[in-house]
A and B are shown apart, each in its own frame.
Chain A
Amino acid sequence: DTGVSQNPRHKITKRGQNVTFRCDPISEHNRLYWYRQTLGQGPEFLTYFQNEAQLEKSRLLSDRFSAERPKGSFSTLEIQRTEQGDSAMYLCASSIGTSGRSTQETQYFGPGTRLLVL
């Protein structure tokens, strides 16, 4: 079990550029979550995948954000036309879910990708 991995760990970009982050969940985990965390705050939910299907999106996920999980394995989060307000830590988590709305299973987080938009 190698844990959840995220790449890159750090990204510096200029305002207006597009960026893409990758998350590799723990193998066999069918659920994948993206969160965003700004300095001094707890993580905030962005979106959720069950296998390859994106089943829930937060209102925080503006039109400039898009996430995919082709084939139900790794996931990518893309931000288009980045803004300085997008600067944050982007966290990915995965879990095994056996029922649609279980609240018991543990989510395992990756180390995050820290984005700085200049």
Chain B
Amino acid sequence: DAKTTQPNSMESNEEEPVHLPCNHSTISGTDYIHWYRQLPSQGPEYVIHGLTSNVNNRMASLAIAEDRKSSTLILHRATLRDAAVYYCTSRSGTSYGKLTFGQGTILTVHP
């Protein structure tokens, strides 16, 4: 299973952009990169996923390095509701799509 590495914590001010990095140097060529976030006492919430190209949705953007060894989740304008633990995960193509989570990044947003 591919291992992901993220910073333990990051801080941002409200309405500023946030760039959350993730290293996944052992990911295989066909495994998608998925990002989830988790609020206290809740289950993880899907944010975005991608394979090779940069991706955008209403929540965030995902920038994937050309060599696919790293990616960056971009929150364009952080709000207080974005404060959460963000997980960069991979899905194993040799398994039945189980997600492999790291420890995640605790994002603190200051008003």
Contacts and interface: CB of A to CB of B under 8 A. Distances in A.
Contacts of A31: 96-97
Interface string B28-59: 00111010100001111110010100000000
A99 to B, nearest CB: 10
B40 to A, nearest CB: 11
- Determine the main DSSP class of B at the interface with A: loop
22 contacts: A4-B43, A31-B97, A42-B89, A42-B101, A42-B104, A43-B99, A43-B101, A48-B98, A93-B44, A93-B99, A97-B96, A101-B96, A101-B97, A102-B97, A103-B92, A104-B91, A106-B49, A109-B36, A109-B44, A112-B41, A112-B42, A112-B43
A41 B103 contact: yes
Interface residues of A, number: 32
